[in-house]
Amino acid sequence: MDQSDELSLWLANAWLRASGDEIQSLVVEDLREQVEEGRSMADGLASLSHSERQAGDFGMEIAGTLLAPVLVELLKDFWVGYFKKLGESAGGAVAEATTKRVKDWFLSILHKKEDDKVLGDLRDKVERLAAHKKLTPKEAARLLEALRGPKLLQELETK
């Protein structure tokens, strides 16, 4: 699995649980399983918003919440950007940046409980999506609340 995919799914799952969106976190868990089985992340995300009619279905196109795929895409963008920056600043360090080390680094940021630039970046991204109406105000508020609170750290540490 691609490193940025793995980290996105890891963080999205915990973040959604921390924000009380259990159902969406189950969606992310399934997405992770699919990616582990060899399906591309883009395909997995596309299938989530795909609504096909089959006999026995309700058969009306009714839009639901896109929180899970939107958050995964946000985090994918975040980790890709992070690795790019790391590559520019540290050169060979990118190759040594194992997933475990990156996870530890992110946990340490959460431990500090300071208004770190990384968390600020995530907050900005969530607010931008809410401004573009890709997230509802309630969903954005729940996510931001979870980013500030201790539950995200607990969820990440148990995973």
Partner 1 sequence: MNRDLSADRTALLSASGCSVEILVHKFLFFLILLPFTTLLFPFLTFHITTSLVNFNLSADWQEWKHHGATQEQAALSDRQEIALAAALTLLTLTAAALGYGRDVRRLTIEPSAGRRYFAPKGDKGSTLTIQIKGLWSQVARQSTPPPDVLWFPSAAVLARAMTPSGRLTVAVSAGLWEKIVTDDLIAKIVLLHELAHLAYRDPPTFIRLGALSGAATRILKQMLRVLIFIVLFLVLHQVIANYNAHLGAATIVRQTLMIAGIGFLALLICPVSAAIIRRYIGLITSLIELRADVRSAQWAGGLDRFAEILSNHPLVHQSTLSDRARSWFSLGLTHLSESERIQLVRSPERLLTPKVQYFFFSLCLVLLLPVNGVTPLFEGGIVDLAAVITVATALSVALCTMFVLSGPTSTRIPLLRLFTVSACAVLFTAACQINLYTLTYSLSTIAVEFGLPNKGTMLRWNEVSSVVMSAFHDIGGQLGNIWSGGWIVVSVLITMAALGGLRIAARGLRRTSDPATGWLIVVAAAGGLGVIIDGYDPWRAFVVENTLLGRAFVGWASITTHFRGIRFTLGPCLSLTSMLILSTASRWIRAGRKATRMPDTMQNP
- Which residues here bind partner 1, judged by CB under 8 A? 22-24, 26-27, 30-31, 34, 47-66, 68-69
Residues 9, 22: contact at Cβ < 8 Å? no
Angle at which helices 67-90 and 3-18 pack, to 10 degrees?
130
Quick one: 3 or 34, whose CB is closer to partner 1? 34
Residue closer to partner 1, measured from CB, 11 or 71: 71
Euclidean distance between CA atoms 9 and 15, whole angstroms: 10
Nearer to partner 1 by Cβ, of 3 and 65: the residue is: 65
Find the shortest distance in angstroms from Cβ 158 to partner 1: 15
What gap in Å lies between CA 130 and CA 120, rounded to an integer? 15
State in angstroms the smallest separation of the CB of 56 from partner 1. 5
- 86: its two tokens: 């790391």
Helix (H/G/I), strand (E/B), else coil: 43? helix
Give the shortest CB-39-to-partner 1 separation in angstroms.
11
* CA-atom Rg of the chain in angstroms: 16
Shortest reach from residue 45's CB to partner 1, in Å: 10
Is 61 or 114 the residue whose CB approaches partner 1 more closely? Answer: 61
CB of 49 to partner 1, least distance (A): 5
Shorter beta-carbon distance to partner 1: residue 20 or 120: 20
Span between the terminal Cα atoms of the chain, in Å: 17
